[in-house]
Structure 1
Amino acid sequence: MPGIRSIGALLFLAALLTGLLAEAPLAGLSPGEAAGILGLFGLAMFLAGSIVEGFTKHWTHGVQAIAVSCGLLTALVVTYAARGELQMVLDRAIGDIADGRTVVSENGEVVAARRTDGSFILTGRVNGRDTRFIFDTGASTVVLRAERAADLGFKEADLDFSIPVATANGTALAAPVVIDSLTVGSITERNVHALVTRSGVLHANLLGMSFLERLGSYEVRGNRLILRGKETRT
């Protein structure tokens, strides 16, 4: 029916706008959850229209439409209820084929796949901002590129470039800082000592020993890097 399907179309549009534009929680739901519920109601309206249309043709068409609608809605509800488990399976599958993707296992281990160049890239957050690091046990501290320092809360005017560091291009000066919070996967450490290099010195941030030495353990197993926090279950 046109009226019911129009309502469904409006609900689909609301779901799309919510998913793309909303940032704050809606009625206690995250934007993703709210968008999913709106989309589900939109689909229900379309299915209801199909059922009504089926009965206007013949009762057998209506019964068939009900059976199809119930099966589809049941599958969607079950899938939504199991979204956490499905996301974990998806993460594991992607982790097997995607260079540098960081995955958190069921017991809290943070796992990253080796890149084709042999390095490990880990996605993390510095002072609440998304950041990527190269795993580097040869770096005595975490090292941040100057190009991202301001975004991470370190103003260039406040930095004292007085610490000499060795780089691939020779010796350079870096500024000591303290990161309020550094998160990689499920592991968060606070008050982490780090260095900020001058612009152009590094091509990537380094996850060095000032963070790694706080972990319960870390190891390279085959093509996987595994980080374990001190509270990680083994």
Structure 2
Amino acid sequence: MSVYLGLGALVVVVGVLVLTDGSSIGGMIEPDQLASLAWMGTILTLVVAGYWRHFRGAPGANLRGLSAWVGIGLACVVGYAYRDQIQDVRDRVMGNLRPGSAIVGSGGTVTITRRADGAFRVDAQVNGRTQSFAFDTGASAVVLTAENAVALGIRPSETEFSARVSTANGTALAAPIYLDALGIGPITERRVPALVARPGALDGNLLGQSFLTRLPGYEVRGDRLILRGR
């Protein structure tokens, strides 16, 4: 019955369009708008009629299916409405599972979670290769161990070790260099001044001020290190 009503409505609309000869109807709706509404209404009527016949054949199963789709739709709406809060929870979980990894937040921020030993270890891309750094605001520059520098293809000559640096083992000489690129997540700085320590002078790389001062800001908030990009 609903199919015939839909087709009848379509016939009436076509008749109205023919009689108005392209002029607006009542000064409120244009013929092409009325035709679009009639077409969409007819399609909707046919879809509803077909679904209703199927629904009457097995109302219990179809009602359960309809309820499931309504639940999925509501979940999508709620997820979109609370997307920022959900992203914060996701970042915390991922940070706890993978300390040192860059968790990208809103506004281009990068969050690093403190490790169980109390230190912040940051995984960074140096000249396209991954290196691990200790976050150290007391270091005046980014410092690479001799071994990690070799892994990056950086081999200063003996005469280049001319800069004095303070380490846990005392004062040592280091070689000044420039890193083509140093990136943490979406944050990338180019031509970063750095130092290469002598073999055995350092236990690990240091993420120091020659990189940190280039950022718009960074802060330690509880067990999270937050870096802000440009």
Partner of 1:66: none
Given that 2:110 and 2:228 are in contact with CA atoms closer than 8 Å, whether structure 1 keeps it comes out as: yes
Given that 1:219 and 1:225 are in contact with CA atoms closer than 8 Å, whether structure 2 keeps it comes out as: yes
Query: What do residues 106-143 of structure 1 show as CA deviations (whole Å, max 9, x unaligned)?
Result: 32111001112221111111111111111100000000
1:1-234 correspondence runs (5 A): 91-157=91-157, 160-229=160-229, 231=230
- Mapped partners of 1:182, 1:99: distance in 2: 19
Cα separation, partners in 2 of 1:154 and 1:198, compared to 1, 3 Å? same
- Mapped partners of 2:134, 2:204: distance in 1: 7
Query: What do residues 27-76 of structure 1 show as CA deviations (whole Å, max 9, x unaligned)?
Result: xxxxxxxxxxxxxxxxxxxxxxxxxxxxxxxxxxxxxxxxxxxxxxxxxx
Given that 1:110 and 1:226 are in contact with CA atoms closer than 8 Å, whether structure 2 keeps it comes out as: yes
- Could you tell me how far 1:156 is from its partner in structure 2? 3.6
- Could you tell me how far 1:155 is from its partner in structure 2? 2.0
- Could you tell me how far 1:201 is from its partner in structure 2? 1.1
- Mapped partners of 1:159, 1:129: distance in 2: 26
Query: What do residues 149-197 of structure 1 show as CA deviations (whole Å, max 9, x unaligned)?
Result: 1222312448711111111111111000001111011100011100000
Cα separation, partners in 2 of 1:217 and 1:155, compared to 1, 3 Å? same
Larger gyration radius, structure 1 or structure 2: 2
Partner of 2:43: none
- Mapped partners of 1:98, 1:124: distance in 2: 14
Letter in 2 for 1:121: R
Cα separation, partners in 2 of 1:145 and 1:187, compared to 1, 3 Å? same
- Mapped partners of 1:93, 1:87: distance in 2: 10
- Could you tell me how far 1:103 is from its partner in structure 2? 0.9
Q: TM-score, structure 2 length as denominator?
A: 0.59
Letter in 1 for 2:212: L
- Mapped partners of 1:88, 1:186: distance in 2: 17
Secondary structure in structure 2 of the residue aligned to 1:166 = strand
Q: TM-score, structure 1 length as denominator?
A: 0.58
Runs of 5+ in structure 2 lacking a partner?
Answer: 1-83
Cα separation, partners in 2 of 1:228 and 1:161, compared to 1, 3 Å? same
Letter in 2 for 1:174: A
Percent identity, aligned pairs only, is: 55
- Mapped partners of 2:228, 2:203: distance in 1: 27
- Mapped partners of 1:153, 1:90: distance in 2: 37
How many residues are aligned here? 156
Letter in 2 for 1:189: E
Given that 1:159 and 1:176 are in contact with CA atoms closer than 8 Å, whether structure 2 keeps it comes out as: no
Letter in 1 for 2:219: E
Given that 1:176 and 1:193 are in contact with CA atoms closer than 8 Å, whether structure 2 keeps it comes out as: yes
Secondary structure in structure 2 of the residue aligned to 1:210 = helix
Given that 2:91 and 2:105 are in contact with CA atoms closer than 8 Å, whether structure 1 keeps it comes out as: no
Letter in 2 for 1:194: A
Runs of 4+ in 1 over 6 A off after TM superposition: 85-89
